[in-house]
Structure 1
Amino acid sequence: MDRKTYTAELAGLRELRTEITAAEKAVAAAQKELDKLTVQRARRVAGLAGYEGAKADAIAKASGLTLADVVRIAPLLDPTPAAVRAAKTDSQAAADAPAPAPVAAPGAEPASVVAPVTRPAAVLEQPVPAAPATEAPREDEDQAVAEQPAPVAARVESAVSVASVAAALRPVVEAGPRELPALHEGLAGARFEAVTTGLVSKRPNFVQQARSTVFLDAATRDLAVRDQVVRLDLGARTPGEILDAVLATAPGTERIYITAGAPWHDGAERYSTLKDAVAAWLNTPSERWTTAVGSGRDKLAGHFVHQRQPVGRYAPAASPEGPVTEIRSMGEWFDPDGADVVTCRDAFRLLWQALRRQWDDAVLMGSPSQTGRDLWSRTIPTTGKWAGGYPVLSEELRGLLHATGGQGRTELILPPRVPEQLPALVEYDRTFAYAKHLWKSPVGTPRRITARAFAAMTEQEQTKALMSCSHWNVRVTVPQGWNHVGLLPAPVTGDRAWVYPSEPGAPFTTWAGGAEVHLALSNHLMPWKVEILGGLLFEDGKPLDEWGKRLKAAWADLTNLSKLHADERQRQAAYLASRAVRSVLLFGLGGFAQRPRLVSGTTPVGEALPAGVEILGQANEVVTWQRQAGFSRDPYAHPEWAAYVWSGARAALLDMKYRQGKEVIASAGALHAKPGTVVYFGTDGIALTERQPWPYRGEPGDYLLKGHLTGPVEHPTSQEQYLKLRGQGRAELAQMGADQ
């Protein structure tokens, strides 16, 4: 090529560059217009769902969408057979029963996303039932997570769910052993000693933006905005009327916390389940408001349906891409327990102040789970081995931990192991329990320990391995002569998932954390027979230690204030704020244990089913199925941390040492009570038939006497009955204290 040709080519390249730039601008403009039209279409589809006779297939044809896309936007139009829908009633009734205590981020929002496929129709992605809920997306644009809330009302759970289909269509069988996964051999096993490439938990380089927040008592209609209280006219208490009333008084509000009155339960008697009632309320048609569908990098889109703590996200109907306003429940943070709206506002303010003393950039986000994980991310070290962040384990290893790392122990012990007539029902609750177990956690890539390698260790090396951050596959036999509660969890089918065998001679194979295995081998009553089949040994680290210390400091400040403040309202507010700190830790920890998603769907009889599905049942010529959908690439997924803390907490329910320096000064837990006196385990508490001499110092992990119901008491036959008795015992103990 000569110089003349070279010069001519350069000139031509410049012209081409100009044409490309113009084309790019045209594409960007077209994409912007397409996004705008798509949002309008979604809003219209959602609006059509409010018509009683609306049909998903007709709307799909008119809109040019697939049936699955229509269901994604308006789940109430889901064409799933009525028989499957109706079957939700029984299973949902059980789900609506009160729980003894939250165990793993129930306040967090699972990322249920409709899979946009053409066939089979009505495919919904949901987290594994009864698992710690995955945290909702972070409220910033710089740190988007892979799993996002579904647009419009896609997370309305009136659509068929894995749990409801399974409960309705599977035959009723007795719970039996459930086979747990094991470590693979050879090349396949290498993935169980690996991390996910390019996925690391890093310290954020931005500051969260606070959102304008108000507090509304929907019963009294009082609104606390800044330092004022205003009485509103809420009309029929629909979302649109609440938004109109609040924003007319407090323009620019981005978050409304309902402290009392639960408007989403209005008219609940007309629906088969509470969730259906909540879903209908969230999607009440409004001329002025529409469900926020989000656009571009905006992650705040769609509603989250929960029977008692829903989240509604709304945007102006005239501008769906405009500012989003959330309606949320105060119960995500703490039980207001009759507190007025001013006290709830003061509690939120005290919570922020307490956290701000520990983090100079602390911001209260929508939920405790979001807040907890954001605060943790700001404790990631900037120096040392983990300055670059903590790596996320491989999908295989995360899957193993999800399948084998149970949560808090919940067990009602029935006669004849305890008397049918209880002499009393005494409840002990571990104060701020999980905070005691954050000082050490597994980090890095684990080392696989085979049965042969463990057997070759010296006794001292074995003890060290068990006391380190570890997870073990074991074959267990309950010893002859054992007459106390079970020590290790055994997997079973059915709703319970885990039981705790205690019958002498009972054999089972399971996985458990090193703390539990060591306790079974070395407890002071009688050592159990435990054979190590294999395990994973992590490096001991402190990824949660700083986070835990700061939360404990905030909790201690608020707890002291709740006892010492001269003003009764401020004492109550401080107490509620201390409960909110507990929620931040509890649900923040649960947010690390993110579950693999399940995809469920329907296919007409006779058509080919997707690969790898499990058939759940058949009704009205439609086959219902489910399959695993794997994990998202979430940089904050650390199930190894949650599993280790849960294991330590379960062990402490059995045996916990009170120390003064290095000296053990007292012990507590079920194994230190008489055989036959333990009635109930409830995550971080125990109910017994008699009082115990366990000291209480007010420190995290200490056993606090929480309730005492004088007997004789008829033994509860269900968790619901136990919870009723527990409430009576707490009331009786409070009265005893008031009389003294």
Structure 2
Amino acid sequence: MDRKTYTAELAGLRELRTEITAAEKQVAAAQKELDRLAALRSRRVAGLAGYEGAQAAPIAKASGLTLADVVRIAPLLDPTPAAVRAAKADDQVAAAPVQASAPPVEPAPVAAPAVAIAPALSRPAAVIEQLAPVDAEDQAPAEQPAPAAAAPAAAPVAAPVEPVVSVAPVAPVAAVPRAAVEAGPRELPTLPEGPAGARFEAVTTGLVSTRPKFTQQARSTVFLDAAAGMLAVRDHVVRLDLGARTPGEILDAVLATAPGTERIYITAGAPWHDGAERYSTLKDAVAAWLNTPSQRWTTAVGSGRDRLAGHFVHQRQPVGRYAPAAAPDSGTTEIRSMGEWFDADGADAVTCRQAFTLLWQALRRHWDDAVLMGSPSQTGRDLWSRTIPTTGKWAGGYPVLSEELRGLLHATGGQGRTELILPPRVPEQLPALVEYDRTFAYAKHLWKSPVGTPRRITARAFAAMTEQEQTKALMSCSHWNIRVTVPAGWNHVGLLPAPVTGDRAWVYPATPGATFTTWAGGAEVHLALSNHLMPWKIEILSGLLFEDGKPLDEWGKRLKAAWADLTNLSKLHGDERQRQAAYLASRAVRSVLLFGLGGFAQRPRLVSGTTPVGEALPAGVEILGRDETVVTWQRQAGFSRDPYAHPEWAAYVWSGARAALLDMKYRQGKEVIASAGALHAKPGSVVYFGTDGIALTERQPWPYRGEVGDYLLKGHLSGPLAHPTSQEQYLKLRGLGRAELARTGADQ
């Protein structure tokens, strides 16, 4: 080829590039139009479900969908008889006991992408147990997040219901069903090549977390024991007649005594469970209670462009928002559960009110403008926003990642580890059941977090690094797509999460030779390569490397100080009521941190609401129930343009939490004085992982200094004991172990 031909070919290549770009734009436009039409069809199908005589078959034929697709969009149209569905569900439950020790996950062979073998790393003096563990053995319930997807939904309308994001529910999350595990591995999204991949190394234009320029306004709040009818308001207690304990009767009684009340916390009694036996699910019972008709009260609605009903339907901790029927715009009164903040554990309404007072006073010592909002999630995020720096690199705020990258993190960043390990990996008869719980664990791991736009690390780029550079990358704020092989001779617990079919279900393979592909944070990957037992084989497929920053450090320090103040007060105060109130307040600080961190994840959520019968339902809703006046529904809220959405922070903390559950160092200055965690117990002695706690068959020599992150002996149940075969059985044994330890003391 001569120069003239070369020049001509270049010119032709440029023309071809222009044509390809134009074609790509046409394809993108067509795809956008297709998505719009498909969404419109789904909305119309959901709307047809509101007709009493609607049937799935003709709707499927008219829409061009399958019957299964129609039922998925509008479950109310499911033609399967309710009795058959219930029997099938019972059969599935009976056939699917808790699966904790998962069999090896071995995906079918596929064409192998480029990989880089990560070297076995020597354990450096300062390692990753500081990177970020989680706190939560009994994390409070909140709205259940919708299943995460690889790519986020299109920008949804902002939801008026409270965006309570759970880190875990009050009752610990059930372990993975065996049926889900046997169904095989779940494929996780990967980083695409080309222009599409560039969006995974970007932030959202014009969306930044900035320091607020206003002060939150406190709301008039009272505390009601609905079982005893006792109302704690300001400095006195009043007995109320609550009638049948419907929302309307509670509001009438409370506001007659305390006019202007904007928030009512139910400390005991759970009136939303009254008559629950009449409903097929607890959620149906709660929805019916929230929507009990009242002549004087109506459902409060949101403001702005999304005027939807304001109730939040949850099995145990619902939120009811009501306005006077005669003047719905005159103000809102909320009915909420005290359990959002802490388990009252028999404390009366006066003690709960005193706990709130102590909580506010403790936070005020560290935030001049601290205000207790409706939930710990809202409070935590508001307090964090007031620690955004006013000087330095991030004085303008922290940028929010692109929707594509947030979707990837939601799909690949699991939360706490909950796993029941079954025989033969542990004995059929346990010599004892000993529970250790990490104290205020999240607070230990907020000192460093990812900030800014991540840099993509390919397998080739990782392979080209020196071992020192690889170690530094793994110890930095990072997220890795890896292929894992459990080493031959391994006889301990699994180290890395493997995805299986189910709603973001994860297992921890430990069988030698098991191979699986997953995503994990640098803390976990580094631990798998450098643990003191034997290194695992890790193949790096790709990764995201962030800049190390301290966006949560100041927030964490202030919350730790408030927690320490209240914890000390709960031990030293001379008045028993004040000691109990201080203890409850310290638990509330824990919830503020726990759910505040979960709020950063901003997972796609299920939003619930009500619409008057006869009015058009919002798009894409699932009908939960109906009565003479309203239809109760839920829908996926997806992602919104939330300036405080930082799933990279939550994912980083959760990953470090899982690593610290396996291996944590106690330090005195720079010197390591002790080690703790599952890998420091004998093989075959670990029975259960519960996010920030471990249950074993024997006591461990792990010191407890009362500092955040320390392992505290929480329960000891003497054996021999039959190994629990389900989550429920374990929880019963755990309760017995805590009671036995309380009776006998720690020195058995």
**Structure 1 spans left out of the alignment, 5+ residues:** 1-54, 61-76, 111-126, 135-144, 156-166, 601-611, 613-625
Pairwise CA distance, 1:290: 0.8
Q: 2:160 matched to which residue of 1?
A: 149
Q: 2:705 matched to which residue of 1?
A: 697
Question: Structure 1 residues 592, 564: closer, same or farther in 2, change over 3 A?
Answer: same
| TM, length-normalised to structure 2 | 0.76
**Contact preservation (8 Å) 1:107, 1:587:** no
Pairwise CA distance, 1:737: 2.2
Choose which of 550, 554, 559 in structure 1 pairs with 2:558.
Answer: 550
Q: 1:199 matched to which residue of 2?
A: 207
Q: 2:108 matched to which residue of 1?
A: none
Aligned residue pair count: 600
| TM, length-normalised to structure 1 | 0.76
Q: 1:29 matched to which residue of 2?
A: none
Question: Structure 1 residues 172, 719: closer, same or farther in 2, change over 3 A?
Answer: closer
Structure 1 residues 346-357: aligned runs within 5 Å:
346-357=354-365
Q: Secondary structure at the match of 1:521?
A: helix
Q: 2:13 matched to which residue of 1?
A: none
Structure 1 residues 70-109: aligned runs within 5 Å:
80-81=77-78, 83=80, 87=85, 107-109=141-143
Pairwise CA distance, 1:186: 1.7
2:426 matched to 1:440? no
2:146 matched to 1:128? yes
Q: 1:30 matched to which residue of 2?
A: none
Question: Structure 1 residues 738, 689: closer, same or farther in 2, change over 3 A?
Answer: closer
**Contact preservation (8 Å) 2:135, 2:439:** no
Report the AA paired with residue 368 of structure 1.
P
Q: 1:721 matched to which residue of 2?
A: 729
* Structure 2 CA distance for aligned equivalents of residues 729 and 251 of structure 1: 46
Deviations 1:322-374 (A, max 9, x none): 21000000000000001111111111111111111111100000000000011
**Contact preservation (8 Å) 1:371, 1:588:** yes
Q: 2:415 matched to which residue of 1?
A: 407
Pairwise CA distance, 1:633: 1.1
Pairwise CA distance, 1:287: 0.6
Pairwise CA distance, 1:83: 4.1
* Structure 2 CA distance for aligned equivalents of residues 347 and 299 of structure 1: 34
2:649 matched to 1:659? no
CA RMSD of aligned residues (A): 3.2
- Between 1 and 2, higher relative CO (CA 8 Å, sep ≥ 6) is seen in 2
Q: 1:633 matched to which residue of 2?
A: 641
Structure 1 residues 234-633: aligned runs within 5 Å:
234-296=242-304, 301-495=309-503, 497-596=505-604, 631-633=639-641
Report the AA paired with residue 737 of structure 2.
G
Report the AA paired with residue 679 of structure 1.
V
Pairwise CA distance, 1:594: 1.6
Pairwise CA distance, 1:298: 9.3
Question: Structure 1 residues 301, 79: closer, same or farther in 2, change over 3 A?
Answer: closer
Question: Structure 1 residues 645, 174: closer, same or farther in 2, change over 3 A?
Answer: same
Question: Structure 1 residues 630, 272: closer, same or farther in 2, change over 3 A?
Answer: closer
Pairwise CA distance, 1:103: 7.5
Report the AA paired with residue 683 of structure 1.
T
Report the AA paired with residue 715 of structure 2.
G
Question: Structure 1 residues 359, 525: closer, same or farther in 2, change over 3 A?
Answer: same
Structure 1 residues 136-175: aligned runs within 5 Å:
147-149=158-160, 174-175=182-183
Question: Structure 1 residues 358, 85: closer, same or farther in 2, change over 3 A?
Answer: farther
Structure 1 residues 18-33: aligned runs within 5 Å:
none
**Structure 2 spans left out of the alignment, 5+ residues:** 1-48, 55-73, 99-133, 165-175, 609-619, 621-633
**Contact preservation (8 Å) 2:181, 2:500:** no
**Contact preservation (8 Å) 1:104, 1:590:** no
Pairwise CA distance, 1:183: 1.0
**Contact preservation (8 Å) 1:430, 1:685:** yes
* Structure 2 CA distance for aligned equivalents of residues 104 and 390 of structure 1: 31
Q: Secondary structure at the match of 2:260?
A: coil
Report the AA paired with residue 149 of structure 1.
P
Q: 1:224 matched to which residue of 2?
A: 232
Report the AA paired with residue 255 of structure 2.
L
Question: Structure 1 residues 196, 106: closer, same or farther in 2, change over 3 A?
Answer: farther
* Structure 2 CA distance for aligned equivalents of residues 543 and 342 of structure 1: 37
Percent identical among aligned pairs is 86
Pairwise CA distance, 1:88: 7.5
**Contact preservation (8 Å) 2:147, 2:504:** no
**Contact preservation (8 Å) 1:440, 1:544:** yes
**Contact preservation (8 Å) 1:278, 1:305:** yes
Report the AA paired with residue 251 of structure 1.
P
Pairwise CA distance, 1:396: 1.0
Report the AA paired with residue 296 of structure 2.
R
